[in-house]
Amino acid sequence: MRKRTFVMPACFKLASRNALLDASLKHAGMTWFFLLMLGLIVISAWILHSTFLLNWDVSWCMHAAEHLMKGGTYIKDFFDVNFPLALYLYIPPNLMKKYLDLNIMESSRLYIFFLNFISVSFSFYFLRKIFHNNLHSAYIFTMVLAFLLFIFPVIHLGQREHLFLIFTLPYFFAVGLISLYPSYKNDQTKIVIPAKAGIYFEWNALIKGMSENTKLQVDDYKWIPAFAGMTKESVIAIILGIFAFLGFTIKPYFFLSFIFLELYILFTTRNILSWMRVEVLTIIFLSIGYAIFIGVFYPDFITTVIPLTLKYFYTNYSSESLLLLLTQSSFLYALFAIIIFMMNKKQGDYQALSHVLFIGMLGAIFSYLLQKVSWAYHLLPLLTFSVLLLMCIIVEWMKDIKINSSSFLFGSIFALWVFSYPTYFLFHQYQLAVTFKQRLQPLINYMDTHTSHQSVYFLSVTIEDALPAIDYSQSILSGHFAHLPLLPGILEKMSLHSPKVQWADGIMTKMIVDDLNDKKPEFVFVDARKYKSYYRDFDYLTHFSKHPSFVDAWKNYHYFQTIDQPMVLSTNIDVLFYHLPEFDKEKIDKLINDNNNKKIIFLIGKGEQRMAYIYKKFKGDKALSLRSENITLSAKEQQFIDSEKNTLLDSKCETLTLLIQKIIFAAYPFYKLDVYKRG
């Protein structure tokens, strides 16, 4: 018996050591797999983004940041509707470009990837504590997060909404960790917070509880005076606050998310002093200092830029109806995520995190609707929070499911279905990025030949006409802006003959005249499209020539040549095509009403020369529009049209498809620019 009593404990010890060794090896293998997958995501993202052109808005922000680096100010040196911090965030890639001998594309991508790395690492610091009893889930969630930050933005990499996600997501996860405690307490337990100024959450006991894989108890949470001494946790909280401040203040709309988060903490803790944490105080103090900084160093931004932006920028760029905003496919996907969240009755360990991600969705929805325009990058935060929320719910559902059960198979299929739309969004944005590069490449080649290392200027309301072609051709952007963002709004109100409209038009014209006289750009590119973005039947030179100062400055330029690039269209064009012998307004109106919301082309007349009318609805505009173009038919096209007895022709026919492309090319060139040269 003694021998047995001696041997059995030894066996148990050996078995215990083997179990610990197996667990350790399993954990190490899982960690290496996690790091390998993160590496593959980063490498894939770098290769993917190397095939795209730099985003036009990112390019402009970097150019505007250069003005700030040189001590420039709004109105005097440049004009932009972004708040100063949104431009200051692009100073680091400019410094990298200068001191590391990189081009603007390489420096911006390297900078954004570095920020992504910090954001993912910082987020994982909190996620591994949130998923303390399920390390697999922490790794999977972090990999999804890395995918969303590195790959998912596609051509919108580095946009302000992308930067908002980069800087604020760690804060969202930190709030999720702080609010994790109520999910473990019973109804009678309350968090007791000392009623004294300057307090913050103490993390030591929390980290200890996580490392032991035990559920948190009441004693694991305590609040201590904020200035009792600088600890590791207070340093982390300060860094977290600075990081979040940079994201929440990029645009005023983003600050709503911060307010919603703190209201949520107030609700869950039931204590009015819950906001007095180091990271929150850091954000508040920096925000106050930032407001003072703008008032002292950039008063023109407050007195001139903001009034002009509110009155003229949003009247055209943000003219989409509420119905159009609410029916965007990305917004509908977010509503689907909200429905799943509301239907989820499971009260699990990750309920607090799902609530925080839902709060992020609410902030993203308000930000999107307040900006009143459905540009894809405006929807990026909403899509990102939707994916993370659904991912959190799926992890909660599946963590207790056995690997070989039918429920696991169902859950996997459901997960694939849930993420089918984000996959579609990704590939759609990829196609747009590839198409944009194809369209812009001829302009880049032209500028590389004629304007490389020379100053250029653009009179256009479309920023894509100028950027990033200027960067890739190594031309020099000269002047206050790369496009005229206020012009559509000013033109819309010009008929009112208001002194304020004349004042706005005078400010913009003065900036243009100063650029032509002082900067003396060698080449000026003028948008010559018949149908321009946001307005029609408008000529830039005719409009600005009403000002004698512009006429005097323009005497130094002469016409050089015209360059254009047709649209790149799919061969499968969904359009109704009618041919009529003569213009019959009643018949055309009836056909339009019978085919509401469909693209229609009317070819009117007989013989070689005919008139083509393209019917469509302008984006965000309920007014009907017929765009007309003179079209010269080839003998083959003329024979085909005249041989058809029906007025409605099959647009799938190859001959007609090519004719439709010709008509659309004429009415909708990607760019058509008149080039003027100084001298």
How far apart are alpha carbons 300 and 511 in whole angstroms?
A: 14
Dihedral sign for Cα 595, 597, 598, 603, please. positive
pLDDT (tens digit per residue) in 144-174: 999 999 999 999 999 999 999 999 999 999 9
Look-up of token digits 């909403």 = 382
Give the pairing of strands 223-225 and 671-678.
unpaired
Q: Quick one: pLDDT at residue 63?
A: 94
Does residue 653 contact residue 637 with C-beta atoms inside 8 Å? no
The residue assigned the tokens 């990607």 is 670
Rounded Cα gap, residues 245 and 291, in angstroms: 12
CB neighbours of residue 185 within 10 Å: 14
Where helices occur in 100-159 by DSSP H, the ranges are 104-130, 135-150
| Measured distance CA(152)–CA(432) in Å, rounded | 14
Per-residue b or e along 398-423, where b marks 16 or more CB atoms closer than 10 Å to that residue's CB = beeeeeeeeeeeeeeeebeebbebbe
**Of 637, 632, 618, nearest in space to 666 by CA:** 632
Q: How far is CA 303 from the centre of its chain?
A: 28
pTM of the model: 0.81
Q: How far apart are CA 598 and CA 595, in angstroms?
A: 6
Alpha-carbon gap, residue 162 to 108, rounded angstroms: 13
pLDDT of residue 14: 44
Phi first, then psi: give them for residue 500, nearest 5 degrees. -65, -40
Does the pLDDT at position 197 exceed 60? no
**Which of 3-7, 305-309, 326-330 is predicted least confidently?**
3-7
pLDDT band (50, 70, 90) for residue 10: very low
Question: How confident is the model at residue 93, as a pLDDT?
Answer: 95
Cβ-contact 618, 652 below 8 angstroms: no
Beta-carbon count within 10 A of 146 CB:
25
Read off the tokens for 620. Answer: 């965000």
Residue 195 has pLDDT above 80, yes or no: no
Q: Could you give the CA distance from residue 498 to residue 49 in angstroms, rounded to a whole number?
A: 47
Pick the closest to residue 146 from 38, 2, 31 (CA basis): 38
Indicate the range of 218-227, 316-325, 565-574 predicted with least confidence. Answer: 218-227
Three state DSSP letters for 473-489? CCCEECCCCCCCCCHHH
For β-strands 455-459 and 648-649, DSSP reports them as unpaired
Q: In this predicted model, which residue has the larger pLDDT, 53 or 320? A: 53
Closest among 331, 344, 336 to 379, alpha carbons compared: 331
Alpha-carbon span 83 to 301, nearest angstrom: 8
Mean pLDDT of all residues in 19-29:
53
Cis, bond preceding 468 (omega within 30 deg of 0): yes
Residue 367 contacts residue 381 (beta carbons within 8 Å): yes
CATH 3.40.50 fits 576-671, yes or no: no
Whole-angstrom Cα distance, residue 352 to residue 173? 10
Backbone angles phi, psi at 7, to 5 degrees: -75, -40
Domain-wise residue ranges, the chain? 1-50, 81-418, 430-555, 576-671
Instruction: Say what the pLDDT of residue 665 is.
Output: 67
What's the rounded mean pLDDT across residues 183-207?
Answer: 32
pLDDT digits (tens, 9 = 90+) for 29-83: 678 888 899 999 999 999 999 998 999 999 999 999 999 999 999 999 999 999 9
The pLDDT score that the predictor gives to residue 450 is: 94
Name the band, by pLDDT with cuts 50, 70 and 90, for residue 494. Answer: confident
pLDDT greater than 60 at residue 498: yes
CB 150 within 8 A of CB 47: no
| Tokens describing residue 566 | 């047709």
The values of phi and psi at residue 609, to 5°, are -95, 125
Q: Pick from 448-457, 529-538, 612-621, 667-676 the range whose average pLDDT is largest.
A: 448-457
b/e map of 364-393 (b: 16 or more CB within 10 Å)? bbebbeebbbbbbbbbbbbbbbbbbbbbbb
Please report, rounded to a whole number, the percentage of residues in the chain having pLDDT higher than 70: 77
Please, are residues 81 and 485 in contact by the beta-carbon 8 Å criterion? Answer: yes
